[in-house]
A and B are shown apart, each in its own frame.
Chain A
Amino acid sequence: MPRSPSAEVGATSATQRPAAGGRSGIGRLVPRLPILGDLRLDRRFGWVIPVFIVLVAAIVGYNARATSQERGSALVVNIAARQRALVERHTKDVLLVVDGFQADPEGSGTALHQEANALLDGGTVIAPQGNDSFVKIPAARDWKIRRKLEQNRRLIDELTSTGDRLLKGGRRDPQYTAKVTRLRVLTAQLSSVSNDAVGEITKHTEASLSRLVRIEIALGLLGALAALAMGLLLRRAGAEQAAQFRSLVNNSSDLITVLAPDGTIAYQSPSVERMLGRRSDDLVGTALTDLVHPDDQHQVTVSLTKLVEAPGATANFACRLQHEDGSWRHVESICTNLADDPRVHGLVLNIRDVTEQAALRQSIGDLLHNLARRSQGLVDRQLELIDELERDEVDPDRLDELFRMDHLATRMRRNVENLIVLSGVEQRRRWSESVPLRDVVEAAVAEVEEYSRVQVGGIHDLTLSGQAASDVAHLVAELVENATSFSSPTTRVEVSGGPAGNGYVLEIEDHGIGMSDAELAEANNRLAAPLAADIAVSRMMGFHVVGRLAARHGIRVQLRHCWFGGVAALVLLPPALLGSAGERPAMAPPVPAGVMASPEPLLLAETTESGWQQRAHLPPPRHAAPAPSRGGDTDAAAEAGDPVE
Chain B
Amino acid sequence: MAWTRARRRWAWALVPVLAVLAVAVPLVVARRLEPTPAGTPVNVRLEDFKLRRDVPVVPAGTVVLHVLNEGPTTHEVSVIRTDRAPDKLPLRRDGLTINEDAPGMDFINEAEGLDIGDRRTLALHLPAGNYVLYCNMDGHYLGGMHASLTVR
| Residues of chain A at the chain B interface (Cβ within 8 Å) | 144, 147-148, 150-151, 181, 184-189, 191-193, 196-197, 199-200
Q: Would you call B150 an interface residue if the criterion is a C-beta within 8 Å of the partner chain's C-beta atoms?
A: no
The answer for the CA separation of A192 and B71 in the assembled complex, in Å, is 13
Since A148-B72, A150-B72, A189-B48 are in contact, a sample of 15 more A-B pairs with Cβ atoms closer than 8 Å, ordered by chain A residue number, is: A144-B71, A144-B115, A144-B117, A151-B71, A151-B72, A184-B96, A185-B96, A185-B139, A186-B139, A188-B138, A189-B49, A189-B140, A192-B74, A192-B140, A196-B74
* List of A residues within 8 angstroms of B138 by Cβ: 188-189, 191-192
* List of B residues within 8 angstroms of A150 by Cβ: 72
The answer for the CA separation of A474 and B37 in the assembled complex, in Å, is 129
Would you give the shortest CB distance from B132 to chain A, in whole angstroms? 18
The answer for the CA separation of A405 and B96 in the assembled complex, in Å, is 149
Contact of A188 among B73, B96, B115 (CB under 8 A): B96
The answer for the CA separation of A151 and B116 in the assembled complex, in Å, is 12
Would you give the shortest CB distance from A202 to chain B, in whole angstroms? 13
Would you give the shortest CB distance from B87 to chain A, in whole angstroms? 13
The answer for the CA separation of A193 and B139 in the assembled complex, in Å, is 10
Q: Would you call B61 an interface residue if the criterion is a C-beta within 8 Å of the partner chain's C-beta atoms?
A: no
CB-based contact B72/A189 at 8 Å = no
Instruction: Report how many A-B pairs have Cβ atoms within 8 Å.
Output: 53
Mask, B55-99, CB within 8 Å of A = 1, is 000000000000000011110000000000000000000011000
Would you give the shortest CB distance from B152 to chain A, in whole angstroms? 33
Mask, B113-152, CB within 8 Å of A = 1, is 0011100000000000000000001111011000000000
The residue of chain B having its C-beta at the shortest distance from the C-beta of A191 within the complex is B138
Would you give the shortest CB distance from A176 to chain B, in whole angstroms? 16
Contacts A184-B95, A184-B96 given; indicate if A192 touches B142 (C-beta within 8 A).
Answer: no
The residue of chain B having its C-beta at the shortest distance from the C-beta of A193 within the complex is B73
CB-based contact A189/B143 at 8 Å = yes
The answer for the CA separation of A192 and B113 in the assembled complex, in Å, is 12
The residue of chain B having its C-beta at the shortest distance from the C-beta of A199 within the complex is B74
The answer for the CA separation of A151 and B47 in the assembled complex, in Å, is 11
Would you give the shortest CB distance from A587 to chain B, in whole angstroms? 97
* List of A residues within 8 angstroms of B139 by Cβ: 184-189, 191-192
* List of A residues within 8 angstroms of B49 by Cβ: 189
Interface size, chain B (Cβ < 8 Å): 17
Would you give the shortest CB distance from A625 to chain B, in whole angstroms? 90
* List of B residues within 8 angstroms of A197 by Cβ: 73
The answer for the CA separation of A54 and B29 in the assembled complex, in Å, is 39
The answer for the CA separation of A151 and B69 in the assembled complex, in Å, is 15
CB-based contact A151/B73 at 8 Å = yes
* List of B residues within 8 angstroms of A193 by Cβ: 48, 73
Would you give the shortest CB distance from B84 to chain A, in whole angstroms? 19
Q: Which of B73, B74, B95, B138 has the most CB of A within 10 A?
A: B73
The answer for the CA separation of A177 and B79 in the assembled complex, in Å, is 29
The answer for the CA separation of A588 and B74 in the assembled complex, in Å, is 133
The answer for the CA separation of A148 and B71 in the assembled complex, in Å, is 8
Would you give the shortest CB distance from B138 to chain A, in whole angstroms? 4
CB-based contact A147/B140 at 8 Å = no
The answer for the CA separation of A197 and B72 in the assembled complex, in Å, is 10
* List of A residues within 8 angstroms of B95 by Cβ: 181, 184
**CB pairs A–B below 8 angstroms (16 shown):** A147-B116, A148-B71, A148-B73, A148-B116, A151-B72, A185-B96, A187-B139, A188-B138, A188-B139, A188-B142, A189-B138, A191-B138, A192-B73, A192-B138, A192-B140, A196-B73
The answer for the CA separation of A11 and B79 in the assembled complex, in Å, is 105
CB-based contact A192/B72 at 8 Å = no
3 closest residue pairs by CB, A with B: A188-B139, A147-B72, A188-B138
CB-based contact A151/B142 at 8 Å = no
* List of B residues within 8 angstroms of A185 by Cβ: 96, 139, 142-143
The answer for the CA separation of A188 and B139 in the assembled complex, in Å, is 5
Would you give the shortest CB distance from B125 to chain A, in whole angstroms? 31
* List of B residues within 8 angstroms of A192 by Cβ: 73-74, 137-140
The answer for the CA separation of A186 and B144 in the assembled complex, in Å, is 12
* List of B residues within 8 angstroms of A200 by Cβ: 115
* List of A residues within 8 angstroms of B117 by Cβ: 144
Would you give the shortest CB distance from A205 to chain B, in whole angstroms? 16
* List of B residues within 8 angstroms of A186 by Cβ: 139
The residue of chain B having its C-beta at the shortest distance from the C-beta of A152 within the complex is B73
Q: Which of A151, A188, A191, A197 has the most CB of B within 10 A?
A: A188
* List of A residues within 8 angstroms of B71 by Cβ: 144, 147-148, 151
The answer for the CA separation of A196 and B139 in the assembled complex, in Å, is 14
The answer for the CA separation of A189 and B95 in the assembled complex, in Å, is 13
The answer for the CA separation of A166 and B116 in the assembled complex, in Å, is 33
* List of A residues within 8 angstroms of B142 by Cβ: 181, 185, 188
Q: Which of A147, A148, A189, A200 has the most CB of B within 10 A?
A: A189
The answer for the CA separation of A189 and B140 in the assembled complex, in Å, is 6
Would you give the shortest CB distance from A146 to chain B, in whole angstroms? 9
* List of A residues within 8 angstroms of B143 by Cβ: 185, 189
* List of B residues within 8 angstroms of A191 by Cβ: 138-139
Would you give the shortest CB distance from B13 to chain A, in whole angstroms? 15
The answer for the CA separation of A185 and B144 in the assembled complex, in Å, is 10
Would you give the shortest CB distance from B98 to chain A, in whole angstroms? 13
The answer for the CA separation of A427 and B95 in the assembled complex, in Å, is 134
The residue of chain A having its C-beta at the shortest distance from the C-beta of B74 within the complex is A196
The answer for the CA separation of A150 and B142 in the assembled complex, in Å, is 21
The answer for the CA separation of A434 and B116 in the assembled complex, in Å, is 122
The answer for the CA separation of A150 and B72 in the assembled complex, in Å, is 9
* List of A residues within 8 angstroms of B74 by Cβ: 192, 196, 199
The residue of chain A having its C-beta at the shortest distance from the C-beta of B141 within the complex is A185
Would you give the shortest CB distance from B144 to chain A, in whole angstroms? 10
The answer for the CA separation of A147 and B96 in the assembled complex, in Å, is 24
The residue of chain B having its C-beta at the shortest distance from the C-beta of A187 within the complex is B139
The residue of chain B having its C-beta at the shortest distance from the C-beta of A154 within the complex is B48
Would you give the shortest CB distance from A150 to chain B, in whole angstroms? 7
The residue of chain B having its C-beta at the shortest distance from the C-beta of A200 within the complex is B115
The answer for the CA separation of A191 and B72 in the assembled complex, in Å, is 14
* List of B residues within 8 angstroms of A187 by Cβ: 139
The residue of chain A having its C-beta at the shortest distance from the C-beta of B139 within the complex is A188
Would you give the shortest CB distance from A485 to chain B, in whole angstroms? 83
The answer for the CA separation of A186 and B74 in the assembled complex, in Å, is 16
Would you give the shortest CB distance from A635 to chain B, in whole angstroms? 75
The residue of chain A having its C-beta at the shortest distance from the C-beta of B94 within the complex is A188
The answer for the CA separation of A192 and B95 in the assembled complex, in Å, is 15
Would you give the shortest CB distance from B119 to chain A, in whole angstroms? 15
The answer for the CA separation of A186 and B96 in the assembled complex, in Å, is 10
Would you give the shortest CB distance from B94 to chain A, in whole angstroms? 8
The residue of chain B having its C-beta at the shortest distance from the C-beta of A188 within the complex is B139
Would you give the shortest CB distance from A402 to chain B, in whole angstroms? 100
* List of A residues within 8 angstroms of B137 by Cβ: 192
Would you give the shortest CB distance from B142 to chain A, in whole angstroms? 4
The residue of chain B having its C-beta at the shortest distance from the C-beta of A181 within the complex is B142
Would you give the shortest CB distance from A197 to chain B, in whole angstroms? 8
The answer for the CA separation of A185 and B116 in the assembled complex, in Å, is 21
Contacts A189-B138, A196-B73 given; indicate if A151 touches B48 (C-beta within 8 A).
Answer: yes
The answer for the CA separation of A199 and B95 in the assembled complex, in Å, is 25
* List of B residues within 8 angstroms of A151 by Cβ: 48, 71-73
